[in-house]
């Protein structure tokens, strides 16, 4: 794939992002062409390198020792809350259905 430039676009939330455009050199005669794309020209893809970097950092944070401990604690808190009360929201009011000893 060959770098053919960059473009700036806005997301639905208004965030400006920079996308790098890449185009395949030659798609003619490729057996996967029909499954890959339907354009008359060679395949073009857009890559957001900043987003990929942020996703990689988030994965590292989640897999770190501190991230694992945080996820374990969050899981226990939500599980404890479900055990204490079974609550259903109706019209903005919370109604207690069953105390924890019935669960």
For the stretch 9-42, pLDDT in tens is: 998 889 899 999 998 888 888 888 888 888 888 8
Give the pLDDT of residue 75: 53
Averaged pLDDT, 51-62:
89
pLDDT of the residue at 100: 46
Rounded to whole angstroms, what are the CA distances from 25 to 41, 57, 102?
10, 32, 66
Domain parsing of the chain, residue ranges: 1-48, 64-103
pLDDT in tens, 71-100: 777 655 455 555 444 554 445 555 555 554
| DSSP track, 27-71 | -TT-TTHHHH---SS--EEEE-HHHHHHHHHHHHHHHSHHHHHHH
The more confident residue out of 101 and 16 is 16
- Measured CA to CA, the distance from residue 21 to residue 6 in angstroms comes to 6
């Amino acid at each position: 794939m060959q770098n053919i430039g960059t473009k700036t676009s806005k997301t639905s939330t208004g965030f400006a992002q920079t996308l790098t455009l890449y185009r395949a050199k030659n798609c003619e005669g490729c057996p996967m062409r029909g499954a890959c794309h339907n354009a008359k020209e060679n395949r073009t893809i857009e890559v957001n390198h900043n987003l990929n970097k942020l996703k990689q950092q988030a994965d590292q944070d989640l897999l770190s020792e501190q991230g694992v401990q945080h996820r374990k604690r969050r899981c226990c808190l939500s599980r404890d809350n479900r055990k204490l009360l079974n609550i259903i929201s109706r019209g903005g009011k919370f109604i207690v259905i069953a105390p924890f000893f019935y669960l």
